[in-house]
Amino acid sequence: MNRNLTEDRPTFVTHLECSLTGERYEADQLHGLSRAGQPLLVRYDLDALGRAVSRDTIAARETDLWRWRELLPVRRTDSIVSLGEIETPLIPIPRSGGDTVLVKDEGRLPTGSFKARGLVMAVAMARELGVTRIAMPTNGNAGAALAAYAARCGIETVILCPEETPEVNVREIAAQGARVWRVNGQIDECGAIVGRGAAEGRWFDFSTLKEPYRIEGKKTMGLELAAQLGWELPDAIFYPTGGGTGLIGMWKAFDEMERLGWIGAKRPRMYAVQASGCAPIVRAYEAGEDHAERWEDAATVAAGIRVPKAVGDFLILRAVRESGGAALAVGDPAILKAVEECAKKDGLLLCPEGGATLAAYQQAVRNNLVDEDERVVLYNCATGLKYPMPEAGQWLDKNAPIDLGAL
């Protein structure tokens, strides 16, 4: 077992807070959305936290997600079900990206995506608070991570996937012990069914941002990035945005670290990347709106960001604007081209959503949003190995004469 997990687990959670109205909610109780129907954010006693632990203490610990335990909500060590949540590497991609571009390769996490960060935390908290049955709508990776962690601790799961969810995702969810259904609709329509069951008390609703702890898990992407870059954040971050948990989580992490005095006031410009076939956040950003209307007929190869309506839309838009970034859309052909280029030139196989961040970065450089010498981090949110790859159909007949020089 991981060394950290056997230690006591002090947490500095004081309460939860409605992200819209600021209304206070008790910690240590099961919560969904706030009474205003908005996501809840976890708050900590940062003064006490800062006295109890320094960034150097954390930096000296084993480099996994649990090194950040004081900044995480779990109170009891035995609530945690771990599959080995490693710190993910920053990989330079000098040929397809440029000399100052790093990819944070989240595909190396359990279940092959950064959904593991959010779900390891949410499942631990569900377990701590006595939940025995969970349901979730998913485009694939979140369901896979939930299924895996829930299976490990005997929580039952019911998972609904839009019909266009990649086959590999549906199968891995089933293989990891969940009850999974395809639904003839988009993720928000699956979410509506989950909501109906939750209202009847059949299960706890684990939809994106409808429980408060996935953000805390995703927050570790921002904490980790700061530590990896010597407590100096990059100039810009490109984040593939569906529900936006990661972007909101990182923005929260930066804020908490600044208040702890672990980083300065400098923030990266946050670029929320969407596919042009499903870009509700981009449309709202460009129109100057605080909320995003539902995107009809959503379609893109990047299933992880095919989210027509995000509960946390205003939190995404707020972070993007406060940071001086933007919301950017890229087309499927550009996404697939970026995946191909990165694999062929830099040997790193991105998932389509990761490819979207590279395509958006290239577009941002062309449009002078980003200078070529600025330090940029792209998030590759899942392993490229889960997704369909270009055909490779050449055959060699071992019984025929072989022209070795032509191979």
Provide the binding-site residues for ligand PLP, judged by CB under 6 A.
113, 115, 141-142, 208, 240-246, 304-305, 351, 353, 381-382
Nearest approach in angstroms of CB 128 to ligand PLP is 23
Please, which residues bridge with residue 42 across strands? 16
Nearest approach in angstroms of CB 353 to ligand PLP is 3
d(CA 91, CA 343): 13
The phi, psi pair for 382, rounded to 5°, reads: -150, 160
Nearest approach in angstroms of CB 209 to ligand PLP is 9
Residues comprising the chain, all counted: 407
Q: 124 or 270, CB closer to ligand PLP? A: 270
Which amino acid, residue 376?
A: V
| Parallel, antiparallel or unpaired: strands 24-25 and 13-18 | antiparallel
| Parallel, antiparallel or unpaired: strands 326-330 and 179-183 | unpaired
Q: 53 or 342, CB closer to ligand PLP? A: 342
| Parallel, antiparallel or unpaired: strands 101-105 and 90-92 | antiparallel
d(CA 311, CA 208): 8
Q: 260 or 348, CB closer to ligand PLP? A: 348
Structure tokens belonging to residue 151? 């299976």
Q: 115 or 210, CB closer to ligand PLP? A: 115
SS3 content of the chain, % helix, strand, coil (to 5): 40, 15, 40
Nearest approach in angstroms of CB 145 to ligand PLP is 9
Residue 332 contacts residue 353 (beta carbons within 8 Å): no
Nearest approach in angstroms of CB 3 to ligand PLP is 29
Nearest approach in angstroms of CB 368 to ligand PLP is 26
Nearest residue to ligand PLP, using CB?
304
Q: 242 or 277, CB closer to ligand PLP? A: 242
Please, which residues bridge with residue 278 across strands? 275
Q: 248 or 260, CB closer to ligand PLP? A: 248
Tokens 């390891």 belong to residue = 120
Q: 73 or 354, CB closer to ligand PLP? A: 354
3-state secondary structure of 213: coil
Nearest approach in angstroms of CB 199 to ligand PLP is 23
